[in-house]
A = this chain, B = another copy of it.
Amino acid sequence: MKLSKGVEWGVHCVTLLAQVEGDATLSRRMLAEQYDLPEMYLAKQLQSLVRAGILQATSGPKGGFRLAGGPEEITVLDVVEAIDGVANPFVCEEIRQRGKANASPEECLRPCGINRAMSAAYQAWRSSLRSVTIADIVRDLPESVRSRNRARLSTG
Contact = CB atoms under 8 A, between A and B. Distances in A.
A127 interface: yes
Interface residues of A, number: 55
A92 B11 CA distance: 11
A133 to B, nearest CB: 10
Given A8-B90, A11-B114, 15 more contacts: A1-B1, A2-B89, A7-B118, A8-B114, A12-B96, A35-B95, A35-B96, A35-B101, A36-B98, A37-B99, A100-B152, A113-B137, A117-B136, A118-B129, A124-B127
Interface of A: 1-3, 5, 7-9, 11-12, 15-16, 33-37, 76, 84, 87, 89-93, 95-96, 98-101, 103, 107, 113-114, 117-118, 120-122, 124-129, 132, 136-137, 140-142, 144-145, 149, 152
